[in-house]
Amino acid sequence: MGTTENKNQLLELAVKNLGVIEEASVLFREGMTAITGETGAGKTLLVTALQLLSGGRSDSSLVGLFGDEAIVEGRFLCNENEVILRRIIPKEGRSRAYFNGQLSTVGFLQEFSAPIVEIHGQHGYSGLTQREHQREALDAFASIDASRLESIQSEGKSLMNILQELGGDEGERSKELELYKFQAAEIDDVEIVDSLEDQRLQSEELLLGDAAGNRDAALRATHVLGSSSHFIEEITEVLREISSRESLQELEREIVELIEISTEVSATARNIAESIDSNPEKLSEVQQRRTLLTGLRKKYGKTLDDVLQYRNHLHQKIEVIENSAERVKETEEQLSALRKEQDLEEQRIFKERSKAAPELSREILRNLVGLSLPHAHIEFSIEGSSGENVELLIALNKGSGVQPLSKIASGGELSRTMLALRLVLSADPATAVFDEVDAGIGGEVALSVGEALKKLSEDRQVFVVTHLAQVAAYADTHIGVTKTETGTGVSVEIAELDDDHRVIEISRMLSGSPESKNAQKHAVELIAASRSGV
């Protein structure tokens, strides 16, 4: 059995109405699992199911004849917790995704499954096709520690943020200080009395706009309500008549208040009349003052209170910049020293990555040659100050130019290339799925592929869809996919094979005759040889 110690792995896969599969459920174990069956039986649909759970594109053509939608579910072990992913593909409309029974998105399934499942094949995908993961793989292979560089870069960003808060570099600070002083002076020169000044000026402008009419109206109010007016004389006479009547004391009190209020209003009206200046120059002064205040509000705030607050903020900024020279100097000195350290660290990492790349290329190439790719050529492009721009370039055929890994067109070649890479690189992800890895090979090469898959399964789950007995013989677990004709169509059965049924299935793969005694003998020998390492 395999000896995987991953905390993440696939535990179970269930499908319903997916292609020719009406309904099936498979439990998966650690180590290497071979999935076999006759052509068209539906074994590749298990890979398709994993692709769907990993956020792969759905297609209504995947929906079988047994219902209006296909359903795929997977049970995963993730950091010692079981998680269930679900994908539903209808005949019409968009697919649906679920995480632990809750609605989710395809994007989330992709993110969640990335460290768990990696599928290799014509329509599969691998994180190693991405340049970022290639750099991480190179660093892991050569034990290159870039943590100090990352820390320096993070610290540098923090220092740059401090400089920005202090006003940027010296030239920027000078420009900002000049702007802040100009704006503050523009506000200060107006000498705003308070936040209500504009409202008072508006009232004054209304008075001065019709000075004569407003003064006459105020004087008329003074005359009507004044102490010598006919109104006051009459109300005073009424007061004398009721003052001696005890039952009218409340009325007497209210009349006294009325006389007092009338007197006060008369005085107010007189003051207003006396304050109104009919001089047109006074009105012009008020209007000009209001224009100044309106200009400030257009630039610095909706209200005068906003303008005054902005002025205070400007003075604070001016004070910070004028008093920050020493702190800026210290920060710039720290940044300069940090950049020197960063340069040295980048040079170190660049050298280590450049040195490790040919070594890794040779390791991968050794595996590729053993996997029926004898003319392969591997090299790494290392660019950037620290060699951070890493790209794996490969040519699989003699005379071909190197190209990025993602450009490999053949499913079988791509699968074997990824197998060769994963034999050398990191143990992530936890579950590797290989489809078409044995396309176009046989004989001794098939044994090499089987042995390589077995070796890869020592630190992860490995699933391989194969039609070669030499590959299937290396598996720890063998899953058979059988399709039979029925009166209404086809029936597909997916089950784990015991030892006896495994011998029969490998016999079928060897000779096409599962009952052949010679084929069964050969099958037993293949299984025994794979277990003994011969």
What CA–CA distance (Å, rounded) separates 54 from 46? 12
Mean pLDDT over 322-344 rounds to 87
Q: What is the dihedral of CA 406, 411, 413, 419, to 10 degrees?
A: 80
Range 160-174 average pLDDT: 74
Q: What Å distances lie between residue 425 and 31, 138, 367, 421, CA to CA?
A: 18, 8, 12, 6
Q: Which two tokens stand for residue 59?
A: 């297609």
What percentage of the chain carries pLDDT values higher than 70? 90
pLDDT interval class at 208 (50, 70, 90): low
Task: Please tell me the predicted confidence (pLDDT) of residue 60.
Answer: 92
Please check the confidence at residue 431 and state whether its pLDDT lies above 50. Answer: yes
What's the burial of 161, exposed, middle or buried (CB within 10 Å: 0-12/13-18/19+)? Answer: exposed
From residue 222, how far is each of 213, 257, 494 by CA, in Å?
14, 18, 107
> d(Cα 503, Cα 499) in Å, to the nearest integer?
6
Proportion of the chain above pLDDT 90, given as a percent = 37
Q: 10 Å Cβ neighbour count for 431?
A: 24
How does DSSP classify residue 40? T
The two beta strands, 9-18 and 21-27, are antiparallel
Confidence band (pLDDT; 50, 70, 90) for 167? Answer: low
* Spans of all domains in the chain: 9-122+411-497, 170-325
Q: Which residue has the tokens 């905390």?
A: 7
Angle at 134 between CA 128 and CA 136, to 5 degrees: 115
Write the Ramachandran bin of 46: left for phi over 0, alpha for psi from -120 to 50, otherwise beta: alpha
pLDDT of 73: 97
Q: Is the distance from CB of 259 to CB of 235 less than 8 angstroms?
A: yes
| Nearest Cα to Cα of residue 35 among 63, 15, 17, 55 | 15
Q: Which long-range contacts (CB under 8 A, 24 or more apart) does 102-108 make?
A: 106/55, 107/55, 108/55
Instruction: Give the phi and the psi of residue 98 in degrees, each rounded to 5.
Output: -140, 145
Full-model pTM: 0.64
Distance from C-alpha of 170 to C-alpha of 325, rounded to nearest angstrom: 9
The CA–CA distances, whole Å, from 205 to 131, 286, 342, 411, 450 equal 72, 6, 67, 86, 97
Instruction: Report whether pLDDT(430) > 70.
Output: yes
Distance CA 178, CA 166 (A): 14
Residue 427 has pLDDT above 70, yes or no: no
Q: What is the pLDDT of residue 4?
A: 42
Weakest-pLDDT range from 7-11, 109-113, 201-205, 460-464: 201-205
Residue with more model confidence, 336 or 5: 336
- The answer on pLDDT for 174 being more than 60 is yes
Per-residue pLDDT tens over the stretch 432-448: 999 878 877 877 888 98
Q: Kindly tell me if the per-residue pLDDT of 33 is higher than 50.
A: yes
Q: Model confidence at 49, in pLDDT bands (50, 70, 90)?
A: very high
Confidence check: pLDDT of 211 > 60: no
Report the pLDDT averaged over residues 55-69: 91
Q: Among residues 409, 406, 423, which one has the least CA distance to residue 370?
A: 423
Quickly name the fold that domain 9-122+411-497 has.
Rossmann fold (3.40.50)
pLDDT recorded at residue 1:
41
Pair 2, 34: CB distance under 8 Å: no
At residue 2, does pLDDT exceed 50?
Answer: no
What is the average pLDDT value for the chain, to the nearest integer? Answer: 85
Task: Give the whole-angstrom CA distance, residue 438 versus residue 445.
Answer: 9
> Containing H/E element for 341?
helix 325-370
pLDDT tens digits for range 297-326: 888 888 888 888 988 998 988 887 777 777
1's tokens: 């059995």
According to the model, what pLDDT value does residue 210 have? 56
Q: Map residue 203 onto helix, strand or coil.
A: helix
270 pLDDT more than 60: yes
For residue 101, give the 3-state DSSP assignment: coil
Task: Identify the pLDDT of residue 521.
Answer: 93
CB of 173 closer than 8 Å to CB of 323: no
